[in-house]
Amino acid sequence: MTDDRHPSAYEALSSPEAITKALASVGYISTEEISMAVFLAIKLRKPVLIEGPAGVGKTDLAQSLSRSLEVPLERLQCYEGLDEGKSLYEWKYGKQLLYTQILKDRLNEIVGEGNSVSQLTDSLASFEDLFFSHQFLEPRPLLRAMEQETGSVLLIDEIDKSDEEFEAFLLEVLSDYQVTIPELGTISAKVPPVVILTSNNVRELGDALKRRCLHLYIGFPGPEREREIVGARVPGVGEALLKQLVAFVQELREKDLRKRPSISETVDWARTLMLLHADVLNEDMVRKTLNVLLKHETDIDSVSNGLGPMARKAASASDETRKSSGYPNFS
């Protein structure tokens, strides 16, 4: 059941184009493939498994979708050893212990009220039911997503870092949008969440999980889309600097690096250059700020000798654009 503010939390996203527009309103620059996958996930009620290198916006997609829908984001960060208790629910043992002490203090009174052994047993049994009721339950992300009245976005982040046993446990959740708690029974989602799983391919996921998901691959963006992303995230960045820094990052990703710069690092670099009042790229500025893009000393060393030509090539990107557009180049 949904409320008046969201007659249906997902109905506003009635087409891939509407999803592109909604995501853009919160600063996420989508593609046709991304918007189509989200649209089908909502309409078919199927999870989306997003694969791709780290830092291309997989997690950001779930966060942006949550903001655009105005529904809660429930995030489950996966890791080795994650189990049902940490992802679904736990009992509030401290509260149970407190109530046990209260029950102990009233035990003589309860015993005195019982006229027979069966009556006494029934009285004590009622307290046992109380201890394992919903008020003693501490919901974790999976259960919280099921209980949201207006829907939610459930992000199961880096599923490839979890164990195969946990992956098998997820099958019930992803198949029927329901979870089973032995003491309470089966709990079905009030409004099925939009489920997004992300993977960096640390390990191969099982076929059973993949069958239940739509598949989406997000790679590093091309220059035009990366300029759009940086322009949306860093208001005020000059057009010439934007084209140059994106051109530089694009070439940098083609190098044999231990870790290629992510989109978020491109955004951070743009902010750094603006803080330093840079209007254009030059070799000196690149050398001073390269640690914003590259996080391993071996990577910095490997590109150090070629920074001059790379910076000049990136600087020519805006020059070529000005020439092709008919604007004179006064540099």
Is 323 contained in some domain? no
Last residue in a domain, options 69, 103, 137: 137
Per the rule left: phi > 0, alpha: psi between -120 and 50, beta: everything else, 326 is: left
Looking at the fold, whether 175 and 64 belong to one and the same domain comes out as yes
Looking at the fold, whether 61 and 157 belong to one and the same domain comes out as yes
Helix, strand, coil shares of the chain as percentages rounded to 5?
55, 10, 35
Is 327 contained in some domain? no
Looking at the fold, whether 158 and 34 belong to one and the same domain comes out as yes
Last residue in a domain, options 163, 198, 217: 217
Torsion angle (degrees, nearest 10) of CA 188, 191, 192, 198: -120
Is 97 contained in some domain? yes
State the greatest distance between any 2 C-alpha atoms of the chain, in Å, as a whole number: 102
CATH of the domain at 40: 3.40.50.300
Looking at the fold, whether 41 and 127 belong to one and the same domain comes out as no
Is 69 contained in some domain? yes
Looking at the fold, whether 287 and 172 belong to one and the same domain comes out as no
Last residue in a domain, options 157, 184, 217: 217
Looking at the fold, whether 237 and 278 belong to one and the same domain comes out as yes
Is 23 contained in some domain? yes
Looking at the fold, whether 32 and 100 belong to one and the same domain comes out as no
Burial of 20 (0-12, 13-18, 19+ CB in 10 A): buried
**Which residues contact residue 189 at a Cβ distance below 8 angstroms, ignoring those fewer than 6 apart?**
145, 146, 147, 177, 178
Looking at the fold, whether 78 and 103 belong to one and the same domain comes out as no
Q: Which two tokens stand for residue 95?
A: 């509260």
Is 7 contained in some domain? no
Looking at the fold, whether 121 and 191 belong to one and the same domain comes out as no
How far apart CA 224 and CA 48 sit, in angstroms, is: 26
**Amino acid, single-letter form, for residue 190:** K
**Which residues contact residue 168 at a Cβ distance below 8 angstroms, ignoring those fewer than 6 apart?**
206, 208
Looking at the fold, whether 197 and 314 belong to one and the same domain comes out as no
User: Structural domain tally of the chain?
Assistant: 3
Looking at the fold, whether 164 and 23 belong to one and the same domain comes out as yes
Confidence (pTM)? 0.78
DSSP string, 249-264: HHHHTTS--SSPPPHH
Domain extent at residue 69: 16-82+141-217
Looking at the fold, whether 121 and 232 belong to one and the same domain comes out as no
pLDDT digits (tens), the chain, 331 positions = 344 444 456 877 889 999 999 999 999 999 999 999 999 999 999 999 999 988 899 999 999 999 999 999 999 999 998 887 788 866 555 555 665 666 665 666 655 554 555 655 555 555 555 555 556 667 788 888 888 888 899 999 999 999 888 888 888 788 888 887 767 778 888 888 999 999 988 888 999 999 999 999 999 999 999 999 999 999 999 999 999 999 999 999 999 999 999 999 999 999 999 999 999 999 999 999 999 999 999 999 999 999 999 999 998 876 554 444 343 343 3
Place of tokens 């008020």: 135
